[in-house]
A and B are shown apart, each in its own frame.
Chain A
Amino acid sequence: MSEIIIKNGHVFDAVTGLKGDVADVCIKDGVIVDKVSNAATVIDAAGKTVMAGAVDVHTHVAGPKVNLGRWYRPEDKFRLGERCSAKLNPNTRIEGGFSIPTVFKTGYEYARMGFAFTMEAAMPPLYARHVHDEIRDTPILDQAALPVFGNNWFMFEYLKNGEYDNAAAYVAWILRQTKGYGIKCVNPGGSEAWGWGLNCLTVNDPVPYFDITPKEIVDGLITTNEHLKLPHSVHLHSNNLGNPGNYTTTLDSLKIAEGHTANNNFGRDTVLHHTHVQFHSYGGTTWADFESKAKEVMDYVNKQKNISIDTGNVTLDETTTMTADGPFEYHLGALNHLKWANVDVELETSAGVVPYIYGKNVKVCEMQWAIGLEIALYAKDMMRTMITTDHPNAGPFTRYPRVYAWLMDKEYRDAQLNGFKWSSKVIDATTLAELDREISLYELSQMTRAAPAKVLGLSKSFGGLAPGMKGNVAVYNINPDNMLKGLELEDALSKVSVFIKDGVKCVENGVVLEAEPVVKKTYWVNSSVPDTKQVIHDVSEKFLKYYSVNLANYEVVDHYAPNQEIVEV
């Protein structure tokens, strides 16, 4: 069928090991191949950077709390860029939203930056249909969603009793019912405590009534995850997010991974992925003596080979925080007195939304910014460290190029650092000023392509340019021999020269060509672990007595995901 050859580009790819070598990339029928015929469409990438389509390991782009954010922030649509112009581009639907883009804008903006896959970070199982509704309407991007288990009544009972067979059967059942991809755990125990207005702030705080601790929950989830041999590891947002001094809770949470070994057929060797670590690396006791503990946390991460992290970089924007950490959002709303939204979900989880302004003149925000960059710069294994902004919590995903530029250009970040109102305090409380390291293009390709693909168990299809992998290729107007810096680098990373998805050229010079011919896929995991008698009984009983919907109406039926890519385990 269709053949494309991207010629003479500088290829950065951890899978094939190319570190800027000039090489051709060939695609045939949507898949990377060794070579193509002379009839292939030629894309000239001379003097440009070529990478595989990027993979976002953690972002909030689809679901009930995302849409609640859109509903209640009409002011977020007030910022219109030159890209919001359907009249000029007949191939795109109307786009809108800065920190919470509409689904069309989400698909287009990710494509404009060269992204092929995003993982929706949290899906409440009861609301799974909503998540899939939005995923289905998001163009171009392949997506999957992680159902949340850290505050689930069924899991509490099974893990408390050590019933791992039942725990595994239930998780498998949920993945099938919700077309979910893996195990997400947010503020374990704390969001259930929030059902009574309480919280769990350390790994040993027991959950009211259920009497299980966050440590037991996470430990049990890891055991269950490896028992199921799922493609992705447990994905954790640990307790005590956002509070000064919380790095101890973070280290306690990370330590839970000790003693566990990865067990799967997807090439994953980590057992725990801790997300948006920036929010969890705080020292001090109050906002007054707030300081960075990024080094302490990263020392541990570097040492403990079976964990992976993503950064959660602050971008210094007005954005919207949204998380399944309901109690955190309540406290944030009480802190900044902006509008607070909350949705507790029966038997499963809770969520909150609060707008937040990371002010350039606010000391704590400046420090948060520095901490996020430190996390990445201290990382020794770029295959276990990924770059995110926990979109939209620390900043919109459209700011990724800015974060990359800060990491790749010391001068650019120093200019930001030294321009702060409280720069001397930030320099004292963090170590960013001393860090000379600049992330290279190759390391960037690891952190944004190969690493997330590996950790998600998708390394056979995404994150690389080896033959057999998906034909997702991004070409940037960056000549490694004449490396761009600062704002120019940021601009080049935010607007691809060419983006090819599944062998279809869909973006050129930052302009979306035709969203329709690109078939986006919804990925989910189908585990062969069968239901146990106990799980069947418990599920029937709890739906009858405690849920507000009937069991027969819980499952997400096929038409919510018209193009499914089912990962069989």
Chain B
Amino acid sequence: MTKTIKNVICTFCGTLCDDLEVDVSDDGKKIVQVRNACAIGAEKYLHVGNPGRVVLPRMRQEDGTYKDISYEEAIDFAAKTLLKAKKPLLYGWSSTNCEAIAAGNTLAEKIGGVVDNCATVCHGSSLLAIQDTGVPSCTLGEVKNRADRIIFWGCNPAHAHPRHMSRYSIFPRGFFSAKGQKGRKIICVDCRETDTAKIADTFVRIKQSYDYEVFDALRTLLRGEEIPDEVGGVPREKLQEVVDICKSGRFVTLFFGMGLTHTLGRNHNIDNGINFIRDLNDYTKATLIAMRGHYNVTGAGQVLGWQYGFPFACDLSRLTMARHNPGETTSVDLLVRHEVDACVVIASDLAAHFPFEATRRMAHIPTITIDPHISMSTELSDLHIPVAIVGVEVGGCCYRMDNVPIETRKCIDAPDGVITDEELFKRISARVDELLAEADVKNASEYLAKMEA
């Protein structure tokens, strides 16, 4: 007999669907079936019980193999590694819950590290733009209930946020949008005609990396001024069509992704996009929402924000103040310039998603990866510590792409002995306290000074 757990929150992407139904075995140990999830969510939940799950920390040996060690030994190694480092990087945080992130921040402050999350290689550009320009935004339910003009720019939800269009942006029938898709006009702007573009009513193909110019052209047209015959590979008539569609709507929402954050111009692309939406507010209601990738990258930024005042790239290594200087305190730059001497990769896969130059550096400094599964990072680390999967084996708070916080649910028990991220960080913190007391010093910088003396 199985039992069904309803209203389960899927912990894969920033859409954070909260309507999953998970059937678990009677003993509460195995997931049998998942309903309402997209292909990725279903894969996540159904593969949890596969054989070969890592249940003990693994330490890399001289000969390249990995040897299982106890959590105690792993925690001791982690504490010592972090204390010995002058400026360790603690990166990731995006696929775990806020409770773990808070515990991790406490540890990072204690040992004087740099805390950075996946935004640094994802929507960091958007955050920088928001720091310059602000952000006229709304919750996803507002889009569902009011929006009649949707623009997808540089994002491909059909592939990256599969249920976004049916839950929020294209298909749902809301309070003021009872006609659903028929009452909405969808515009897709991209350099490729993606699967999302195929669902859109209007597809605008732009030349790769010309987003800034095209936003500029749209804003110029909005003001009734002239533009050249073609901007960024898009004919003037097409751009005018886009402006007309937006102006004629009663609620416009722009969703954007890596096509703006990763391309030439970075934050300036989004800056111009935000200003386009702000300008549109002179004619009609307009908002924008960043398509956050991981299910809790937003939460990682929120916790960091209320504790230290910054959304990512937060350098706590001075112990007395928090510093934020993108380009200097961001993970890729720190690694590439050899400015960190130890690394903790938590709830993310640095080695799979960072440019290789950064990964190579990570492989050559003491690195600990904390992840339920084998990943590229675990195979380049000195130590891999497995933890429980958030949203499956442990609950905890996660923040959706529109910053709405949702409490995830536990469906099954974690494998015997496997602890949660939160517990792991608390125990490493406690071990650090012990080591500081043993060395008779008050803080991490005194510890380093003593070790060097």
- Bound complex: CA of A550 vs CA of B138, how far in Å? 18
B287-313 contact mask (Cβ, 8 Å, vs A): 1 or 0: 100000000000001110111111100
Nearest chain A CB to B8 CB, angstrom units: 9
- CB neighbours of B174 from chain A (8 A): 545-546
Q: Does B445 make an interface contact (CB < 8 A)?
A: yes
Do residues B321 and A96 form an inter-chain contact, with CB atoms below 8 A?
A: yes
Q: Does A129 make an interface contact (CB < 8 A)?
A: yes
For the residues of B in contact with A, the DSSP-based class is mixed
Q: Does A343 make an interface contact (CB < 8 A)?
A: yes
Do residues A548 and B141 form an inter-chain contact, with CB atoms below 8 A?
A: yes
- CB neighbours of B133 from chain A (8 A): 339
Q: Does B132 make an interface contact (CB < 8 A)?
A: yes
Q: Does B406 make an interface contact (CB < 8 A)?
A: yes
- CB neighbours of A126 from chain B (8 A): 139, 141, 404
- CB neighbours of A560 from chain B (8 A): 397
B236-278 contact mask (Cβ, 8 Å, vs A): 1 or 0: 0000000000000011000000000000000000000000001
Do residues A346 and B144 form an inter-chain contact, with CB atoms below 8 A?
A: yes
- Bound complex: CA of A546 vs CA of B174, how far in Å? 5
Nearest chain B CB to A118 CB, angstrom units: 15
Q: Does B155 make an interface contact (CB < 8 A)?
A: no
Q: Does B343 make an interface contact (CB < 8 A)?
A: no
Q: Which residue of A lies closest to B303 (CB)?
A: A133
- CB neighbours of B405 from chain A (8 A): 127, 129-130, 133
- CB neighbours of B19 from chain A (8 A): 550
- Bound complex: CA of A86 vs CA of B403, how far in Å? 30
Do residues B397 and A64 form an inter-chain contact, with CB atoms below 8 A?
A: no
Q: A72-B131, A339-B132, A342-B135 are in contact. Are A129 and B407 (CB under 8 A)?
A: yes
Q: A340-B136, A546-B145, A548-B404 are in contact. Are A67 and B320 (CB under 8 A)?
A: no
- CB neighbours of B176 from chain A (8 A): 209
Q: Which residue of A lies closest to B134 (CB)?
A: A339
Q: Does B146 make an interface contact (CB < 8 A)?
A: yes
Nearest chain A CB to B100 CB, angstrom units: 13
Which listed residue, B130, B321, B442, touches A341 by the CB 8 Å rule?
B130
Do residues A80 and B321 form an inter-chain contact, with CB atoms below 8 A?
A: yes
- CB neighbours of B320 from chain A (8 A): 84-88, 94
- Bound complex: CA of A125 vs CA of B406, how far in Å? 12
Q: Does A286 make an interface contact (CB < 8 A)?
A: no
Q: Does B140 make an interface contact (CB < 8 A)?
A: yes
Tell me the chain A residues, 461-488 only, with Cβ under 8 Å from chain B: none
Q: A67-B305, A77-B310, A196-B250 are in contact. Are A552 and B135 (CB under 8 A)?
A: no
Nearest chain A CB to B282 CB, angstrom units: 9
Q: Does B384 make an interface contact (CB < 8 A)?
A: no
Nearest chain A CB to B144 CB, angstrom units: 6
- Bound complex: CA of A133 vs CA of B445, how far in Å? 30
Nearest chain B CB to A561 CB, angstrom units: 12
Count of residues in A whose CB is under 8 Å from the partner chain: 64
Do residues B307 and A102 form an inter-chain contact, with CB atoms below 8 A?
A: yes
Do residues A87 and B319 form an inter-chain contact, with CB atoms below 8 A?
A: yes
Do residues A344 and B301 form an inter-chain contact, with CB atoms below 8 A?
A: no
Q: How large is the interface on B (under 10, 10 to 19, 20 to 34, 35 or more residues)?
A: 35 or more
Q: A67-B305, A70-B309, A133-B306 are in contact. Are A342 and B287 (CB under 8 A)?
A: yes
Q: Does B6 make an interface contact (CB < 8 A)?
A: yes
- CB neighbours of B322 from chain A (8 A): 77, 94, 96
Q: A90-B443, A344-B139, A553-B7 are in contact. Are A130 and B302 (CB under 8 A)?
A: yes
Q: A77-B324, A127-B405, A343-B403 are in contact. Are A553 and B307 (CB under 8 A)?
A: no
Do residues A549 and B306 form an inter-chain contact, with CB atoms below 8 A?
A: no
Do residues A343 and B137 form an inter-chain contact, with CB atoms below 8 A?
A: yes
Q: Which residue of A lies closest to B396 (CB)?
A: A559
A260-284 contact mask (Cβ, 8 Å, vs B): 1 or 0: 0000000000000000000000000
Do residues B285 and A197 form an inter-chain contact, with CB atoms below 8 A?
A: yes
Do residues B109 and A86 form an inter-chain contact, with CB atoms below 8 A?
A: yes
- CB neighbours of A97 from chain B (8 A): 309
Q: A71-B310, A341-B135, A550-B18 are in contact. Are A94 and B316 (CB under 8 A)?
A: yes
Which listed residue, A74, A127, A130, A353, touches B309 by the CB 8 Å rule?
A74
- Bound complex: CA of A70 vs CA of B302, how far in Å? 9
Which listed residue, B130, B131, B285, touches A196 by the CB 8 Å rule?
B285
Q: Does A456 make an interface contact (CB < 8 A)?
A: no
- CB neighbours of B109 from chain A (8 A): 86, 93-94
Do residues A104 and B307 form an inter-chain contact, with CB atoms below 8 A?
A: yes
Closest 4 CB pairs of A and B: A346-B141, A339-B134, A548-B141, A344-B138
Query: Interface on B for A, CB 8 Å cutoff?
Result: 6-7, 9, 18-19, 98, 102, 109, 127, 130-142, 144-146, 167-168, 173-176, 250-251, 278, 281, 284-285, 287, 301-303, 305-311, 316, 319-322, 324, 397, 399, 402-407, 442-443, 445
21 A-B pairs (CB sep. < 8 Å) = A64-B403, A67-B305, A71-B305, A74-B324, A84-B321, A85-B321, A90-B443, A94-B320, A103-B306, A103-B307, A137-B102, A330-B136, A330-B281, A341-B134, A341-B137, A342-B138, A343-B402, A343-B403, A346-B140, A546-B174, A550-B19
Known: A129-B397, A195-B251, A346-B138. 15 other contacts (CB 8 A): A66-B306, A72-B134, A84-B320, A94-B109, A130-B403, A338-B134, A340-B134, A342-B134, A342-B137, A342-B138, A345-B139, A345-B141, A545-B175, A546-B144, A548-B144
